[in-house]
């Protein structure tokens, strides 16, 4: 009983720590933006329940009908434009969270867009990562591409990282972008006894496994984290801190957890990263 009480007390202390600046203008602005996107997303959410996902978009093989930015990417780097992109949503969510990002990726010239969906009743990150691996293999077979990029929001990013780091997915994933992903766990997860949520506690077996050496991992990671993320407590736990991973951690100011896939700065940075396949992101704290 004492152990359970200590866990709850620790979680509440962490949440209280994260809420100390809750009345600052920056946080209030982020909360207002978050509320706006939440309202929009709730209206779109039912669309994601129809058909189980969005169909892949065919790769462009000519310049007809393309705008300047799209033509520029296709002409300057055909490989970058043609590399498939897999979008993985967070827990209790669906592919509609990427509606704005999909539109921006298309405008930039990326066309091989795919989605990875999983049930909110999912109980294990490892098994879901295995299924992601099978889906990526199917994408590579269908498109003829040797590699893909993965963009994961929240738990979707952790599923992608596990596939890359622990299941040999670095052979397939060129760049893994994560948005508000609990790479080091989140203290807030101690408030819920759900098996899947337990896996994202800082002291979970899954976190310990991801901390193990990965000396040959070749995937480029870019982890976006927000200084006002309500679900990652403390927020710095959304950073990747692993000596063997080529990881860039990008801090975003005043953006809530749900708003990250919609935020213009984040989307712009992602399109830039994926347009330059051979550029390594610097390791940052």
Q: Specify the pLDDT at position 95.
A: 87
* Residue 222, φ and ψ in degrees, nearest 5: -130, 115
Q: Which helix (H) or strand (E) holds 157?
A: helix 155-166
Judge whether residue 261 has pLDDT over 70. Answer: yes
Q: Specify the pLDDT at position 120.
A: 80
- Give the sign of the dihedral formed by CA 57, CA 61, CA 63, CA 67: positive
Copy the structure tokens of residue 128: 């879901």
Q: What is the phi-psi region of residue 53: left when phi exceeds 0, alpha when psi lies from -120 to 50, beta otherwise? A: left
Q: Please, which residues have CB within 8 angstroms of residue 129's CB and are 6 or more apart in sequence?
A: 159, 160, 162, 163, 166, 167, 169
Between strands 148-153 and 113-116, the pairing is unpaired
Mean pLDDT is highest, among 100-109, 190-199, 233-242, for 233-242
Q: Specify the pLDDT at position 265.
A: 92
pTM of the model: 0.79
Band of pLDDT at residue 245, cut at 50, 70 and 90:
very high
Instruction: Name the average pLDDT for the chain.
Output: 81
Render pLDDT for 85-140 as a digit per residue (tens, 0 to 9): 999 999 888 889 999 999 999 988 898 999 999 988 888 999 999 999 999 999 99
180: three-class secondary structure by DSSP: coil
Render pLDDT for 19-30 as a digit per residue (tens, 0 to 9): 544 445 555 455
Q: Specify the pLDDT at position 93.
A: 84
Render pLDDT for 140-175 as a digit per residue (tens, 0 to 9): 999 999 999 999 999 999 999 999 999 999 999 999
């Amino acid at each position: 009983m004492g152990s359970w009480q200590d866990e709850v007390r620790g979680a509440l202390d962490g949440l209280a720590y994260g809420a100390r600046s809750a009345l600052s203008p920056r946080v209030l602005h982020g909360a207002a933006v978050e509320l706006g996107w939440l309202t929009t997303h709730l209206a779109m959410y039912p669309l994601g329940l129809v058909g189980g996902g969005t169909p892949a978009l065919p790769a462009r093989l000519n310049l007809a009908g393309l705008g300047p930015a799209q033509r520029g990417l296709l002409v300057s780097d055909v490989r970058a434009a043609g590399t498939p992109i897999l979008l993985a949503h967070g827990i209790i969510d669906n592919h509609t969270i990427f509606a704005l990002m999909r539109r921006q990726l298309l405008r930039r010239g990326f066309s091989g867009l795919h989605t990875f969906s999983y049930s909110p009743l999912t109980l294990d990150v490892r098994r879901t990562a295995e299924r992601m691996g099978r889906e990526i293999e199917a994408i590579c077979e269908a498109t003829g591409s040797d590699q893909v990029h993965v963009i994961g929001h929240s738990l979707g990013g952790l599923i992608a990282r596990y596939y890359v780091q622990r299941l040999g997915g670095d052979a397939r994933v060129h760049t893994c972008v994560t948005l508000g992903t609990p790479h080091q766990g989140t203290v807030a997860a101690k408030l819920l006894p759900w098996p899947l949520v337990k896996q994202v506690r800082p002291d979970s077996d899954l976190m310990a496994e991801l901390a193990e050496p990965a000396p040959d991992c070749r995937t480029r990671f870019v982890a976006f984290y927000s200084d006002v993320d309500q679900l990652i407590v403390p927020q710095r736990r959304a950073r990747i801190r692993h000596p063997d991973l080529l990881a860039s951690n990008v801090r975003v100011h005043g953006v809530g957890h749900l708003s990250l896939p919609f935020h213009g700065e984040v989307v712009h940075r992602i399109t830039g990263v994926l347009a330059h396949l051979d550029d390594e992101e610097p390791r940052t704290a």
